[in-house]
Structure 1
Amino acid sequence: MVLLPSIVADPSGVRPHQPLILLQSSASQTCLPVLRNLIQPAGVHTLLFCLLYPPTSLVANWPNTSNGSLKVFDYTERVLGYSETHDSRDEILATVRSAPPGSLHVIIDSADTLATDLASDSQTYKFIKSLLGLITSRSQPSVLILHLLPCSLLPVLTQTHLSATLTHIIAHPPSLLTHLASSYLAPPPPAGPAEKFWTVFIPVSERANESEALVYGPEGSGTCSGGGADLPEFVVELIVRGIAVEGRKRGIERRIEAWSDTSPCHLEKLDSLKSIWSRGKLPEEPLDTKQAVSFNLKLTPSQEKARAQVPLPYAHEGQISLSPPPIGGTIFYEPDSADDIDDDDPDEDLDI
């Protein structure tokens, strides 16, 4: 079952409720297609605060959009050192407090830009915590969506003291999976075992320089879309932290899914990963070793008859003998010419 379509279609309707969604891009792969789809749902009041990308790159047909429930705030011109007003925290909090009742989606692009403007991770964390408190206090399920790049603020936002439940969506280039399948023999499931894949994937994906080398290296595509401008494909690592099925314990579910064009899909649908699925599968039955060599290992009837007539050593070993075993025994020794047999005491010359 693919989880990403249900999250994109209705972020506030995911069960258990996930009030915090993190979208993580990187220099090797952007997560903007997912962000654009999270902005589009109609019928839900949405507040979009743009600090990095302008609204025209996130909202289709902006500003001539027919989505009346969407309200966009463009703060891209508020840059520290270049404008008098660069702290937008009070305005964002006031806007969320004055939002109409009902389900509310608050989207900030991006959290790392906000931390850079404030020049303080602790102040940014306090602001996000206050903002999340306003969202969780609403009567209807509401969601805070943060888009960001890997930064020092990211590990703090993923901790449970901020939110017990969390949906973390991380974008990866497809070349990372093909690299793991060819170099580490660890293809993604169902092409390979999930345990082996995650054991290799997690440490390699955390090393950003390897993904960047795969994309921007000599044999890379040279673009973070994963397949060129005409084929925006990428892989999504989905981490959902929440209440387990039994309802008593909290658990973490990690999946690898895919995105093609403008919607999520199965990994098998990506053209950039066809090399993984096209590889020959192992035969269900083991091969006959006699047929896997270039020479004949079978015996002719005459050879089998001759082999049966060969006396085998120790053929009667282990058989029970009816005759009683001999009692006692005698040792017969014939001295060799080199033996020095002397009845005298060999130590008589010692003064003891």
Structure 2
Amino acid sequence: MERSLNIDLNAWRLGYRARRRNGVKLFAASVIACAGLSAALATWLPLQLSVVTVFLFAGPHNWFELRYFLMRLPVRLGKSRNFFVAAFAGIGVLTAGYLALPLLYNFTSWSSDAWSMVLASWNTLLLFWLGLLIWLRGRNKQRRDWSWAMPAALGLCSLNWLAPELFSLAIVYLHPLVALLFLDRHLRRTRPEWVRTYHQCLVLVAVLLAGIVLRLTQTPALPDDNGLFWRITQHSGAQLLPGVSSHLLVSVHLFLELLHYGVWIVALPLIVPATIRVKQKPTRVWQVKSVGIARHPRGFPKLVAAALLLGAFVVAVLWFGFSIDYATTRDIYFTVAIAHVLAEAPFLLKML
């Protein structure tokens, strides 16, 4: 009987290892295929695909981000109370300030230098807020010294005041990469055997990005003779970088955005539910019980359900707005979406 049990245990171990290896291979193949397809499409039809991508994925990816952030929220803040208070207060203040910028632009006649100062001031507040969050997070990490946060923020502030428009453009290009960091941290916690493969895939992403740059450096500018295409090229920095092909800028930004959407809409939703079980069964992305603060006995299931339903309603409104007036809805979306950009910072820091 003991021998039979040993044989069964060895067979289970072999099967388990085989399943893990197959999972890693499937994960790597999926990342490589998605990255390669994204690079090809972004290079081939950058303007057209930009329109389609934002229409289809902008709203849903925000819903998946909301769900993921709710999953990362603790039921009781405890020692992280000051961190989350500073985080949510900063998100509110910075979002309100960012929303006020287009209103000020429409109802004032300030010079370009004055607008540069306003933009630099907002960027400065952002940097100090990030520095504060890093410092507060470091206070809860006894084995790490994060006192470098404020000096680093001051150093970045000096660069910001030299060229605030370029600093803001850098945020546009760096933001999509944050999703790759979220995936890395989540894999370290739930699939540590996948991390090495994931890092190898990131090398391929860097190679594809370099290939896009080399391929499109000498290409002519994209046509921006209508308002929508002009918005897309300006969002990618065509006006700030006149010496760089707008085809290159739009393609690079689109490639990064496709990776960003892929992480939030495909990768994390497929990985996370498999690690969360309710009554020994994997949860689904639409189940409220997949969120910890809803599943906990002292949690808030009704509040979580309301937040997810409201998010789904906003996605539907976005799709309706895009179908009626794409250009205006796009402008509104990219203004309001600063809130989700800011929200990524504290939740990523909590995973470090």
- TM-score, with structure 1 as normaliser: 0.23
Normalized per residue, which structure has more strand?
A: 1
Q: Between Structure 1 and Structure 2, whose CA radius of gyration is higher?
A: 1
